[in-house]
């Protein structure tokens, strides 16, 4: 059997992903510094309070633009397919690492897909609410009620995003081989077959031209 690794992420995709991760960390830490006095000490990381306040929105915008790069490349792979519903119903088995009765899935599992759309919604809410509360440039165009709502939404979306990323990191570490895919680009054939059976069939189609590809499993 061919044992060459399968490419899961190109170098551009990996660079894009890790830049988003770095920007997320910076935006989250500076955001937390501005969120509560107990966390204000974090502003030392960015050159003090005024600099944190100046830099945080720019970090957010750069993070959003880079994140769009990921969305453009991955949004198709995050559409739900027929097998996903059954996979979700059998998620208990997936957690127990049982394979029987769990349908093969595409490049991403339904949990990853739900997370992807959650990230996108949070990012959009953060961007638009962030513009409304960006005093230096945009706040003057909005009334105080809009600004108050935007502040609430901004904090809420930031909170959900941070929780989602904690889940994302945990899941990445839990499925051994995922982080390595995002670092080196490749996965083993056994990994692809076990975790993403339909994707494995799709990417190895040329090696087995007779094998049909069914999204229904
Ligand atoms: C230190 C932080 C992070 C780690 C360790 C991490 C880890 C990973 C890993 C291992 C994968 C590959 C999963 C797979 O191929 O099955 C992945 C994919 C991905 N990551 Fe991250 N990540 C981090 C931060 C972020 C951040 C901050 C974002 C965006 C806000 C993000 C968005 C994505 C997206 C969109 C994918 C593609 C999966 C999909 O489209 O569903 N990641 N990440």
Could you tell me how many helices (H) and strands (E) the chain has, helices first?
9, 2
pLDDT greater than 50 at residue 165: yes
Q: In angstroms, rounded to a whole number, what is the distance separating the alpha carbons of residues 182 and 204?
A: 20
Q: For residues 32 and 148, give the distance between their C-alpha atoms in angstroms, rounded to a whole number.
A: 18
Q: What is the mean pLDDT of residues 77-103?
A: 92
Query: Superfamily assignment of 9-173 in CATH?
Result: Transmembrane di-heme cytochromes, Chain C (1.20.950.20)
Residue 6 has phi, psi (to 5 degrees) of -105, 135
Residue 190 has pLDDT above 60, yes or no: yes
Q: What percent of the chain has pLDDT over 70?
A: 95
Which pLDDT value is given to residue 97?
A: 85
20 CA to centre of ligand 1 in angstroms: 9
pLDDT (mean) for 12-41: 98
- What atom in ligand 1 is closest to the CA of residue 161? 30
Cα gap 130→200, rounded to integer Å: 40
Pocket of ligand 1 (CB under 6 A): 8, 17, 20-21, 24, 67, 70, 74, 78, 108, 112, 116, 119, 165, 168-169, 172, 178-179, 181-182
- The pLDDT of residue 211 is above 80: no
- For ligand 1, the distance from its centroid to the CA atom of residue 168, given in whole angstroms, is 6
Angle at 172 between CA 170 and CA 174, to 5 degrees: 65
Give the global pTM.
Answer: 0.92
Domain definitions of the chain by residue range:
9-173
Q: How confident is the model at residue 213 (pLDDT cuts 50, 70, 90)?
A: low
Examine the pLDDT at 135 and tell me if it is beyond 70: yes
Give the residue, out of 5, 21, 84, with the most ligand 1 atoms within 8 A of its beta carbon, to mutate for a pocket test. Answer: 21
Amino acid 216: pLDDT? 42
pLDDT, the chain, mean:
94
Q: Residues 186, 188, 192, 194: is their CA dihedral positive or negative?
A: negative
How many angstroms separate the alpha carbon of residue 136 from the centre of ligand 1? 32
């Amino acid at each position: 059997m061919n044992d060459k690794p399968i490419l899961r992420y190109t170098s551009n995709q990996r660079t894009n992903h890790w830049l988003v991760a770095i920007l997320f960390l910076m935006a989250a830490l500076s955001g937390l510094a501005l969120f509560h006095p107990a966390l204000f000490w974090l502003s030392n990381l960015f050159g003090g309070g005024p600099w944190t306040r100046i830099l945080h929105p720019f970090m957010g915008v750069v993070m959003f633009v880079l994140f769009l790069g990921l969305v453009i490349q991955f949004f198709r792979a995050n559409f739900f397919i027929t097998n996903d519903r059954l996979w979700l119903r059998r998620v208990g088995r997936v957690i127990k690492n049982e394979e029987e009765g769990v349908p093969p899935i595409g490049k991403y599992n339904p949990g990853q897909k739900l997370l992807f759309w959650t990230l996108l919604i949070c990012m959009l809410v953060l961007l638009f609410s962030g513009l409304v509360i960006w005093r230096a440039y945009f706040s003057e165009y909005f009334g105080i009620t809009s600004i108050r709502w935007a502040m609430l939404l901004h904090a809420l979306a930031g909170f959900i995003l941070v929780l989602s990323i904690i889940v994302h990191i945990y899941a990445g570490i839990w499925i051994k081989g995922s982080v390595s895919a995002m670092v080196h680009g490749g996965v083993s054939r056994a990994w692809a077959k076990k975790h993403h059976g339909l994707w494995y069939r799709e990417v190895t189609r040329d090696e087995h031209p007779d094998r049909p590809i069914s999204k229904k499993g």
